[in-house]
Amino acid sequence: MSTRPKVLLVPGIGSLVPGSLAPHAGRPPVRELLARLAALPPGAAAAALLTGAVDRAAPPPDEVCAQLAGYAQAVAFCAMAGTWPVRAVRPERAVRTVLLGHSLGELAAFAAAGVLTFEDGARLLLACLRLRAELGAPAGGLLVLRLPAASAGLLLARAELPGLVLACDNGPEQSVVGGPRPAVEALAALARADAVTCTLLPTRTLFHSPELAPVARRVRALAETVAFRAPRVPVHDPLSGRPYRSAAEFRDGVTHHLVHPVPFRRCVALLRAAGVAEFAEAGPRALLSRLTAEQRDVAVRPG
């Protein structure tokens, strides 16, 4: 058996697929996770969203339900990959697998690795949403651009729209811009006028913005009250470019999706240089693994 590492990519914003866990609801780890999700005060609606029949005419879920469901979906796909709970992990697989969370997916990666409980991860996620509202964060938006980060930066400079930042450097042909919703919508119109392929994500929550620094400070203080344990499998820190090493670093990681951009392209390059043999995705669609393939012809496998 090869000893070269495999990276399990844990997606975040925009990865939710309603009904994605319906085919897997009878599998023991997924059944357990769904029961724990439904036991949370706002979790029953999220569990129903993940397991119910998909109604294309139904209105989109509210942000709390959507983000909680997306978090649970990612942990469930990690469970099916054998990283959660611990009893499902073969020793040799645990050594070879590295988790890399993308944006909000970092919280799911922490839960999947056993760094915090599924419930504590959900509570921190909900605290991020609650504190945005309490501290008056504006409605946000995220725009996926078919542009490299450097070109996206030039577009931002030309647009001169307030509050916009580069949220994700995802690959040689994809970047994400975030900021206040009106400014993001205006940038989308400008990009389309320039014949730039772009997609406005459905979220109306502000992410990856310096405006969220007060929220990040409050969430970081809350994280001090949560037990953080040594990971069962390594979790890659996208900012430092190496695995997380301590509970303090994991606590800092809880707020990455609030204020820091995601250097995903750099992460992939560093992991490949470290000998990664395969990228797989903890989700129902090949979103992140497709981006790794764009960087170089590497082995990728969705789901």
Same domain assignment for residues 242 and 289: yes
The confidence band for 95, taking pLDDT boundaries of 50, 70 and 90, is: very low
The answer as to whether 274 is a domain residue is yes
Same domain assignment for residues 119 and 146: no
The confidence band for 196, taking pLDDT boundaries of 50, 70 and 90, is: very high
The residue among 158, 176, 200 that closes a domain is: 200
Per the confidence metrics, is the pTM higher than 0.85?
yes
* 145-175 per-position pLDDT tens digit: 999 999 999 999 999 999 999 999 999 999 9
Q: What is the pLDDT of residue 173?
A: 94
Distance CA 255, CA 106 (A): 9
Alpha helices (H) along the chain = 28-38, 43-51, 63-80, 91-96, 105-112, 118-134, 149-159, 181-193, 213-223, 247-253, 256-259, 264-273, 288-295
The answer as to whether 1 is a domain residue is no
Q: Is residue 173 within 8 Å of 132, Cβ to Cβ?
A: no
Domain, as residue range, for 170 = 140-200
Same domain assignment for residues 62 and 190: no
Residue that the structure tokens 């599924």 belong to:
118
Dig out the tokens for 62 from the structure: 């509210």
Same domain assignment for residues 18 and 166: no
Separation of first and last alpha carbons in the chain:
21
The confidence band for 4, taking pLDDT boundaries of 50, 70 and 90, is: low
Distance CA 250, CA 258 (A): 14
Same domain assignment for residues 196 and 220: no
Distance CA 280, CA 302 (A): 6
Q: Is residue 298 within 8 Å of 288, Cβ to Cβ?
A: no
The answer as to whether 71 is a domain residue is yes
Q: What is the pLDDT of residue 49?
A: 96
The answer as to whether 126 is a domain residue is yes
Same domain assignment for residues 39 and 176: no
Q: Quick one: average pLDDT of 174-196?
A: 97
* 213-258 per-position pLDDT tens digit: 999 999 999 999 999 999 999 999 999 999 999 999 999 999 999 9
Same domain assignment for residues 149 and 64: no
